[in-house]
Amino acid sequence: MNSKKTKRPGFFGSIRLFFTDRDKLEPALITILAGAFSILMGVGLIFIVSKDPVTSTKNFLLGPVLRTYNFYYLMIAMVPITFTGLAMCIIYKLRYMSLIVDSSFYIGAVVATAIGVKLSLPPGIHPAVAMIAAGLVGGLIGLLPAILKIKWRANELVSSLMFNYIFYFIGSFIILYYLRDRDQTILASLPFQKSFNLPKLVENTQLHAGFIIAAVFVVIVSIFLFRTRWGFEIRIAGANPKFAAYAGIPVATVALYAHFVAGFIGGLGGAVEMSGLYRAFIWQMNPSYAMDGVIVAMLARKNPKFVPLSAFFLAYLRVGADFMSRRGDVAFEFITLLQGMIILILASDKILNYFKARRLRRNALLAESSANAAAAQGGQA
Amino acid sequence: MIEFIVNVFTSANYWFIVLRSTAPILLVTLGAVITESAGIKNMALEGSMLWAALVGVIVSSWTGSAWLGLLGGILAAVAIALTLGLFALKLDANAVLCGVALNLFSTGGTVFVLFSLTGDKGISSSLASKTLPFIKIPFIQDIPWLGKVISGQNVVIWLAIAAVVVVHFIMNKATIGRRIKATGENVEAAKAAGIDPDHIKFFTLIVSGVLAGIAGCFLSMGYTSNFTSGIAAGRGYVANAAQVVAGGTAVGAIFASLIFGLTDAMATYLQNVGLPPELIQALPYFVTILGFIVVTLIRDRRESIRKKKLFEGKLPKGGLKPVMTGSDAGGATPV
């Protein structure tokens, strides 16, 4: 390498590299196939249960693009799952299994509600304050399972699931006892102050500025993970904790700040969702966007750059399913069958590395046979 | 306050509820204990319970027999456990992630099937499902306090107690138990001894599926008489925490699940006193995680003392004993 700096491949260069590097291309191909397979499975399910399968299938597959407002709805639906997807990317890069982002998101929304209802600040600053506060609280919550794991090696998935129940009940307690609007018959918080709502991007639609904030965070998290020391440490600690420890990386500290950042993004996402989309806190149950975050992160192959793409795919499925269920006899919940299937396929190393394994096997066989041939020749001579 | 607590703990009704809410947790915890001993984490227990609860209701309403419903439910739960095995063992997927996927698959999938069959997303009341029988014990029911506690309980409570005996027997007395433990502690050594680890893991998954199936059917055909969406309410997850508290034994599972049962039953009483129901509902999960933390803390402390002794050359009496580490201690398995 001498003193010459290695040249980074440019944009087109990296695309060319991507298509020539089979180790990268093939898993990407299989990820796309998994998505396609899940859609096929969905269509199959529709044909089993629906009385009018053709219309239902059409609504499912084309619903998001048939109506303009459906497409706006899709863009709105991308916002929360982009945030949770980014948070899950960080946690999965560290090879932790925690689902605590669910709590961060929910409590983030509750904190934002409290600020949106109780404080009066100038517009612009008001949602910003709420987002930062929600992010900080979400980050602190995100730390909990990581601390338990680092200090006492308690399984982080189990503890995070318990915490998710606890924080859900605490959150709804806060809404019910301190922020509830008693004039409403359904469970709802007092209405937000006018200054709390994010501006709309397009007149007469629900598309709000949160979409831009989400896009900004995609860039920030990409830079954080791939261009900063902290991100580098997270990736090393995830890929090989022992090596990281030998190399002098404080693995425990890395795990803690990674979880804080993930929780921060989750909590901030909750605040964005509240100030962008709602006029009061009206969730009757936890929307569980962290589960969607898992799928988004896995479809993006844990790379924040691809999060918008996979968030778009998932939002497309969900909006299509929603449109179909409103106009037909297929329940919206069938989407979770497809989502579960996608995770199962993408979690399977054997499926993901099928082509690679086959190639390696073939190369090994070729090498063996040529060696045999050489040995036979050597024997003759 | 003290009077209230004394009143609760002496009332037969409280202990009746304790038994009733402990039984399903005990069953799934046993399932978690046996799979964990073989070195595979079954996070799909929640999903298994949900499908069992739904299929039990559907089959019992079709056939008119609660027992056939139970059978159907068990088969459904085993199918979920086997799916986990297929992906985790045969296709090299991360078992924990598969469990999460299967739970997602089940939460929505059960609602989807319920809606497709009945047109209702919340509750299966339009299906004329049966309940598993409640057992009145002839002489014991006349004993003043005890009769009210243990007579008139659902048959599943007795099945749960039987399951403790069976799992204890499998783990400690039968050959398969030694194979399970060998697989869980050292896969390579087990292989060298001629054990097929995948067979053992599949076997434990089937057992955990059966147990989760019984528990799930109890929820919809005994605990309540309908399937409602999300009926398992995190009991499968609680079982995974309780398994750590149980320390990998069937007898420990009784105590671990009693922690949950005692708080869960207490919650119904505390609601009557006028404490906010949201916080009370969080109580069982809170106590479970507390137990979970305390037990992992103690185990970790014990192990570090042991390591220290090893380092100083002072071995405990009787030489080296295998100590729960890694996934047994509830984590630290790299994923």
The tens digit of pLDDT for each residue in A144-173 reads 999 988 888 788 888 898 899 999 999 989
Of A21-30, B2-11, B146-155, B316-325, least confident by mean pLDDT is B316-325
Residue-wise pLDDT tens digits, A284-338: 888 889 888 999 998 898 899 999 999 999 999 989 988 888 888 888 888 888 8
Give the percent of chain B with pLDDT over 70: 93
Q: Supply the pLDDT for residue B325.
A: 45
Contacts of B100 in chain A (CB under 8 A): 97, 99, 157, 291, 294, 343
pLDDT computed for residue B279 by the predictor: 84
Q: Can you give the pLDDT at residue B79?
A: 95
Task: Enumerate the residues of chain B whose CB falls inside 8 A of the CB of residue A97.
Answer: 96-97, 100, 335
CB contact under 8 A, B93 and A336: no
Of A45, A152, A334, the CB nearest to B300: A152
What's the gap between Cα A334 and its chain centre?
Answer: 20
Task: Identify the top-confidence range among A3-12, A13-22, A220-229, B324-333.
Answer: A220-229
Q: What is the mean pLDDT of chain A?
A: 87
Interface probe for B, chosen from A144, A162, A337 (most Cβ of B below 10 Å), is A162
Q: Residue A5 pLDDT > 60, yes or no?
A: no
Which residue among A337, A344, A348 sits closest to B108, beta carbon to beta carbon? A337
- Judge: B293–A154 Cβ closer than 8 Å, yes or no: yes
Chain B partners within 8 Å of A330 (Cβ):
116
Q: Residue A340 and residue B296: Cβ atoms within 8 Å? A: no
Sign of the torsion formed by the C-alpha atoms of A221, A225, A230 and A233:
positive
Question: SS3 for A208?
Answer: strand
Q: B104 and A339: CB-CB below 8 Å?
A: yes
Overall average pLDDT of the B248-260 stretch: 87
In this prediction the ipTM stands at 0.83
Here the tokens at position B136 are: 């009145």
Rounded mean pLDDT of B62-84?
92
pLDDT at B319: 53
Q: Is the pLDDT of residue A19 over 90?
A: no
Do A340 and B106 make contact, defined as CB atoms within 8 angstroms?
A: yes
State what percent of residues in chain A have pLDDT above 70: 97
Q: Are B73 and B216 in contact (CB under 8 A)?
A: yes
Q: How many CB pairs under 8 A join A and B?
A: 161
Smallest Cβ–Cβ distance between A158 and the set B240, B278, B279 belongs to B240
Distance CA B257, CA B239 (A): 8
* Binary contact (A337, B286; C-beta < 8 A): no
Give the torsion through C-alpha atoms of A189, A195, A198, A201, to 10 deg: 130
**Distance from C-alpha of B46 to C-alpha of B178, rounded to nearest angstrom:** 27
Instruction: Spell out the residues 6+ positions from residue A271 whose beta carbon is closer than 8 angstroms to its own.
Output: A108, A109, A111, A112, A127, A130, A131, A133, A134, A135
Counted residue by residue, chain B has a size of 335
